[in-house]
Each structure stands twice: as structure tokens, then as C-alpha cells.
Amino acid sequence: MSKKSISGFPELLPAGRAVESMVEDRLRHTFELHGFAGIQTRSVEPLTALEAKGETSKEVYVLQRLQSARSGGPIPLRSDTLGLHFDLTVPLARYVLANSNDLTFPFKRYQIQKVWRGERPQEGRFREFTQADIDIVGSGDLGLHHEVEAGEVMLDAFAGLDIGPVLMEINNRKLLQGIATSAGIGDFEGTLRGLDKYDKIGPQGVSKELSALGLSDSQIAVALNAAAISVETGRQLREAVGGLGLDPTPLAEGLDELATVLDALQEYAPGQVRASLRIARGLDYYTGTVYETVIPGHESFGSVCSGGRYDALVSDGRRTFPGVGLSIGVSRLVALLLSTGILEPGAPSPARVLVSVTSEETRGQSVAVARALRQRDIATEVSPSARKFGQQIRFAERRGINYVWFVDEDGGHSVKNIVTGDQEPADPAQWLPADA
């Protein structure tokens, strides 16, 4: 990170940005392999829309004109006040409604874009960061198999990054609602917010929060026993939920859905999926399957991919557009990958070749070589000066460039692999890097 970065607004050096670009490119490739179309949405949304979407709306950055701010005194928030979006799901809802007549459903989109949250900066948490989202949106209905599909896409996306296996933990909001109903818990959303902190504050901390909501000791015990359930198969899930001793009727739909999704994803990526009933997700628009993903060995860093099913987020009053979506915090993920050494920083320059310059009088020859190589899609730089060849080679090393091209006095060409030390004659019209 740049030492002069404003807290919460990271700026990567070129080597780090190369890793971030690689991650974005590989994610984009995976999403498109699964038939998802890329879109971009505007950065701002009406504040009224942002405020309606759960606790995260409290972190919205509001836009104000500089001239208005200089007029003195607080500026009242009006119905037309705009804020920077804190996720990519809220913009998606508007986008679907605005373009519903032109979209083919189910609409499968991906989006890799900046978002902003006014939260306290800390390791892996930023105020400005990049998210990579996928969503599958239906018109009227959306089959359960799409909740499986969304999980499969993200498991493939992580596999494409070559960072080792991840662990995707899933739950179902209908099952949690059924447990709350059967146990007589009235404050469902408050209970979910408490359970969502299970890994941060532990069962005792959750117990205190649930007690403050007015839950009885027996209700708290049910909630904590449910939160402790973490299993790998649908059969294990049914047995564990049955052990809570609750009326099974309110639980049936959510339990069936979660067991189905769990078994399907477990078959797709054995050992990388688990049903964890403490996973609740803080946003209140989720209605079905919810997902959180961690990198084993780095659980303290938190989830690097999350999301869920929503049935009521998108509606125009006549039609409802249910969906399921997952989001990767790209900036968060890249920070983890670089800080832990899971991925090494990239080269400061994307160039594969540095064309040396014998003298400033013959620089045109070097430029001509670079032009010929670029026409063949080989990224190439020309040395910035005609210093001694040893100094030009060291410059290439600092830039992370593995090949140095030489033009001799007679117009002959050779290229040196500065990693291996090998040097051989070369033709700008035919030469290729050894790993091309």
C-alpha cells in the first residue's frame, strides 16, 4: 500500500495492482464461462433507496455540492439527496426495474465495481473498495437450483484463482425463521443480528445480546444450540435440527431447501461446503439460502465472499423479480492474498521485453524493434537511456522484465533471458518468449 494513502482508501503500488487486475480478470473469465453478462451501474443512488436496505445503510456517504457546503451550516437531507452505493445489489434492483422490458429472464449478470462504506478502517476493511458480484434474477419465480448454481459459480471462481480450497458456509433464512417461530421468538431480525456475531463475540456475548432483546433463557438456549450446528450433509443437518426438540412444521420448508442446496454443492466441491446455522447475514432483504466464504487458516480475516437469496428486493408493484447473488470483496481478498504470501506481488511493469538503446543516435532502431514486437502482441518497453548495457539490464530487473533485446552496429538482433542468462539471435518478426 502507498504510505500516503488516506485511511480506508487504499492505493496499491503497480506490483499489487497487477495482482488485483489478475484476480479481476480471472473472476470475469469464470463468470462469463457460466453465461453471466457484465454490466456497469452509476455510482450514486437516491438516499431513500440506500437507507431502506438494512444496517449497512448507516454507512452511506452522502453527496453534496461544494458551493452548498460552503454556504455555512448543516445541509438538510432531502428526498432527492444522492449517496454513493455501499454494495452492488441496490443498484441492481433499480437496473432490473428500469430495463425489465429489455432483459431476458432469468437475468444473469456480473459486476466488478467500486463501492463505498463509511465504516471504521481496519485490516481488510476499507471505505472504498472493489466488489465482484454475480446475481441471477427471475421474473415471478426463481427455482431453488439457481441457489445451487450461484454457489457453484463462486466455488469455480475461487478455484480459478489457484489459492487453494475455500470453505463456503451456508444457511437458510426460512429455517432460521422457522426455528424462531417454533421457539416463540418475536424479534427475529434482532436475533439474526445477534447470531451473526457468533464468531466475533462467542456464545456468551450472543447470549447477552439476546437477553437484552427480551428472549427467555429457554429461547436463548434454542438459538445458541441452533447456532452451534455445523454439518456437511443433508442427513446430518436433519438429525441436528431434529435434536433441537422443536415443532418441525415451521422448519420444514427451510430445512428441505438447505439440505438440498448443501448436498448439491457438497457433491460439486467435496469438503468445501458446510451448513452453519450461525450464518445469518445482516442485510434484511435475504429470504432463502445465505452464504459466507472463508479461506481455511485465515478465518480471523473474515468472509471474502457472501450473499444470499432475496425474494422481495426487486418489485414494480405488478411483478416481483426474485434473485440470488453472491459478492466477493476483491480489495479485501487481494489484501489477504498479498499480506499472507498466498500470492506474490506481480511485476512493476507488464512488459515482457526491454529493448536496449546503444546510443541516442540509434534510438530509432530500438523503437522500430519495439513497434514490431508490439504488433505481435508482445508487451515491450524501450530503455529510457543509452547507459551501459549492464545498467540497462539492471533497470529491466527492477521493472520485472525478463528479456533484454540488443541491436548491434551491423543491424543484427539478439535477446537475453536475464533470468537464465541465455542469449541467442532473434528476429523481431518471429521471436517469442520461451513461455509464450
Say whether pLDDT at 54 is over 60: no
Q: Is residue 230 within 8 Å of 292, Cβ to Cβ?
A: no
C-alpha cell at 343: 500470492
* Rounded-to-integer distance, Cα 133 and Cα 150, Å: 10
pLDDT computed for residue 2 by the predictor: 46
* Rounded-to-integer distance, Cα 234 and Cα 118, Å: 39
Say whether pLDDT at 282 is over 70: no
C-alpha cell at 39: 454490466
What residue type is assigned to position 351 of the chain?
A
Q: At CA 200, angle to CA 196 and CA 204, rounded to 5?
A: 85
Report the chain's mean pLDDT, rounded to a whole number.
Answer: 91
pLDDT computed for residue 38 by the predictor: 98
* Rounded-to-integer distance, Cα 182 and Cα 419, Å: 67
* Residue percentage of the chain with pLDDT more than 70: 92
Say whether pLDDT at 155 is over 70: yes
Q: Is residue 13 within 8 Å of 2, Cβ to Cβ?
A: yes
C-alpha cell at 231: 454439518
Long-range contacts of 306-312 (CB under 8 A, 24+ apart): 306/281, 307/133, 307/150, 307/281, 308/173, 308/281, 308/283, 309/142, 309/147, 309/173, 310/89, 310/285, 310/286, 311/287, 312/285, 312/287
pLDDT computed for residue 314 by the predictor: 80
* Residue for grid cell 452505493: 85
Between strands 403-407 and 353-355, the pairing is: parallel
* Rounded-to-integer distance, Cα 238 and Cα 255, Å: 7
Say whether pLDDT at 74 is over 60: no
For the entire predicted model, the pTM comes to 0.88
Helix or strand or coil: residue 185?
coil
What residue type is assigned to position 414 of the chain?
S
Domains of the chain: 14-340 (3.30.930.10), 353-425 (3.40.50.800)
The tens digit of pLDDT for each residue in 383-434 reads 999 999 999 999 999 999 999 999 988 889 999 999 999 999 999 999 999 8
Say whether pLDDT at 3 is over 60: no
What residue type is assigned to position 219 of the chain?
Q
The tens digit of pLDDT for each residue in 308-365 reads 999 987 888 889 999 999 999 999 999 999 999 998 888 899 999 999 999 999 999 9
Q: Is residue 137 within 8 Å of 107, Cβ to Cβ?
A: yes
Closest listed residue to residue 181, CA positions, set 125, 226, 135 = 226
The tens digit of pLDDT for each residue in 424-436 reads 999 999 999 988 6
C-alpha cell at 219: 429461547
pLDDT computed for residue 435 by the predictor: 80
* Rounded-to-integer distance, Cα 417 and Cα 396, Å: 11
DSSP secondary structure letters along 230-282: EESSHHHHHHHHHTT---SGGGHHHHHHHHHHHHHHHHHSTTSEEEETT---S
* Rounded-to-integer distance, Cα 348 and Cα 106, Å: 42
* Rounded-to-integer distance, Cα 407 and Cα 395, Å: 17
C-alpha cell at 425: 539471435
* Rounded-to-integer distance, Cα 295 and Cα 301, Å: 9
Mean pLDDT of 72-76: 59
The tens digit of pLDDT for each residue in 14-24 reads 999 999 999 99
C-alpha cell at 201: 463475540
Give the CB-side neighbour count of residue 83, counting CA atoms within 13 A: 25
How many other CB atoms are found less than 10 A from the CB of residue 374?
Answer: 13
Mean pLDDT of 218-240: 96
Say whether pLDDT at 34 is over 90: yes
DSSP secondary structure letters along 332-388: HHHHHHHHHTSS----S---SEEE--S-GGGHHHHHHHHHHHHHTT--EEE-SS---
The tens digit of pLDDT for each residue in 104-125 reads 999 999 999 999 988 777 766 7
Determine which of 52-56, 152-156, 296-300 has the lowest per-residue pLDDT on average: 52-56
